[in-house]
Amino acid sequence: MQQRLSTSFFYVKMSKVSIEDILYDEQDILRSMDKIEVIDFHQTLEVNGIRFWCYTAGHVLGAAMFMDDIVGVRVLYTGDYSREEDCHLCAAEIPQFSPDICIIESIYGVQLHQPWNVREKRFTYVIHSTISQGGRVLILEFALGRAQELLLILDEYWSNHPELHNIPIYYASPLKKRCMLVYQTYINSMNERICNQFENSNPFDFKHISPL
């Protein structure tokens, strides 16, 4: 929710369209807060004869895919989703019922990605080799989702490589810092790997990474 609201406020503040053409203003966003209702995954609700429930989408923490049942026609509506489990999130659920219609975001719809473990090895190799040559690494990333994944990877990699312990890692983003509090709170919504780690310590209490 924090990420979506921040994006909305950013749109209002940075939009170059005229006042007459702007889709909504800051007051519209604030008024919408009273209309928000929190529901659980798999909880079925009905509004004006339309039944709906949601599944985990595996995109970022809390991301959901919604199944709507409209007079017997099932419509699956979702933004980004991932069927591949990563370092901290479960894969997107397969709906119990096959939808009749799918409405899906398609930014990466025609692209093939390498498996995440291959990408992780490439990522850590480039960073380690750059540091070994006296370089520094600057990573620009979204504050919610991908950032937490990369921080988990880096903290674990640093723990397994004592020669890097004197090299500090910092993340510089007020929003990212606020998002981290959410991630530290909702461990039970993550995959089995993270839940098992949490029995000993919170994996998001990083040993080798500090906020600026």
**Which pLDDT tens digits describe the chain residue by residue (212 residues)?**
444 444 454 444 545 666 677 777 888 888 888 888 889 999 999 999 999 999 999 988 889 999 999 999 999 999 988 888 888 899 999 998 899 999 998 877 777 778 888 999 999 999 999 999 999 999 988 777 888 889 999 999 999 999 999 999 998 877 777 888 888 888 888 999 899 988 888 888 899 999 88
Which of helix, strand or coil describes residue 121? helix
CA angle 46, 53, 41 (to 5 degrees): 130
Whether residue 82 contacts residue 55, with contact meaning beta carbons closer than 8 Å, is answered with no
- Helix 2-14 with 174-185: angle, nearest 10 deg: 160
Residues in the chain: 212
190 closest CA partner among 178, 203, 181? 203
pTM: 0.75
Q: How far is CA 162 from CA 136, 165, 193, in A?
A: 18, 5, 23
